[in-house]
Amino acid sequence: MELDAGVGLADIVLYKRQPRTTREIQVLAAIPPRLAPLLDPLTASNIQSCEDLAAALGLLKPAAQRVMRQLQQLGLFSGQPSGSLTSVKNSPFETVIAVEAKLSDWSRALVQAYRNRQFADESWVVLDHRYYRAALARLERFERSGVGLASLDVAGNLYIHCSAASAPAMSSTKRWHAQAALARRVVQRLGRVTVER
User: Tell me, what's the pLDDT at 159?
Assistant: 98
Spell out the alpha helix ranges (H) of the chain: 22-30, 41-45, 50-57, 61-73, 106-116, 133-136, 139-145, 172-190
Nearest to 15 by CA among 125, 98, 109, 127: 98
Alpha carbon dihedral 137, 138, 139, 140, in 10-degree steps, equals: 130
Nearest to 179 by CA among 25, 63, 48, 23: 25
User: Tell me, what's the pLDDT at 197?
Assistant: 37
User: Tell me, what's the pLDDT at 78?
Assistant: 79
User: Tell me, what's the pLDDT at 196?
Assistant: 37
Residue 93's beta-bridge partner residues?
Answer: 17
Q: Is 139 helix (H, G, I), strand (E, B) or coil?
A: helix
User: Tell me, what's the pLDDT at 168?
Assistant: 93
Q: Which residues of the chain have pLDDT under 70?
A: 1, 79-82, 192-197
- Alpha-carbon gap, residue 96 to 182, rounded angstroms: 10
* 15 and 97 Cβ atoms separated by less than 8 Å: yes
* 98 and 12 Cβ atoms separated by less than 8 Å: yes
User: Tell me, what's the pLDDT at 7?
Assistant: 85
* 16 and 8 Cβ atoms separated by less than 8 Å: no
User: Tell me, what's the pLDDT at 133?
Assistant: 97
| Helical pair 22-30 and 172-190, crossing angle rounded to 10 deg | 100
